[in-house]
Structure 1
Amino acid sequence: MTLYSIFEKPQAKAAKDRAPVAIGERFSWFAMLLTPLYALVNGLWLLLIFWIALVMGLVYASRVIGSDAASGLYAVVVVFLGFEAPAFRRDWLLFRGYQWRGDVISSAEDLAQRDYLSHRK
């Protein structure tokens, strides 16, 4: 079971039939292993820019600190990104005007949306 945060657009800005967004509070392997693709899929442009700057900085720093130390730093950062991926998505939704509507414990994202909608009415 996972805790899902439910976000919804205010009714004045959203279509009536638009489903709420559920974001699971769990580690994201997708964000850890394929950070640039994760950022593009979720529209997290600042995360993509950060990742590009990180890789370029580590390539440059590897000349000074060594490739093993640079690889270790990269591993630490991508594990951190895997843990923080839900927070990045939540912050991006809040920035885009979504409002937090509550938390739901469920086994899947679609079930969390269904449970939220069934208790809302």
Structure 2
Amino acid sequence: MSLISYSESINFDLLSQYRDLLGSEGLNDSLATLESLMPDYFEELTALRAAEDEASFRRQAHKIKGACRSLGFARMGEVMAFLERDTWTWPQAQVQMDAWQVWMQEDVPKVKAWLAA
């Protein structure tokens, strides 16, 4: 059972605005930056979860949330907002982290396909 609800996976309205401002190439560059940074960001989050360092874990979730939301990844950002602000247990946090990883694999290709269209 999900602890949070998701209204949309990707905010394409926001992405359209960014494409108008940055152009497709600029948006592709931003997406490439996200893809290059996110493995390290998530690895740090995973280490903090293993250490059960809640304060640092919440700060790292905040960092990831901002990166996700800045490129329209709505549900991925919501997971991190939940981990940043809400009450959860470590097993619940892990469930949300697992979902986030699946969505990263699903949503990034959707945005790439949208940009290529």
TM-score, length-normalised on structure 1? 0.30
Query: Which of the two has greater helix per residue?
Result: 2
Query: Which of the two has greater strand per residue?
Result: 1
Greater C-alpha radius of gyration: 1
Q: Which has the higher contact order (CA 8 A, sep 6+)?
A: 1
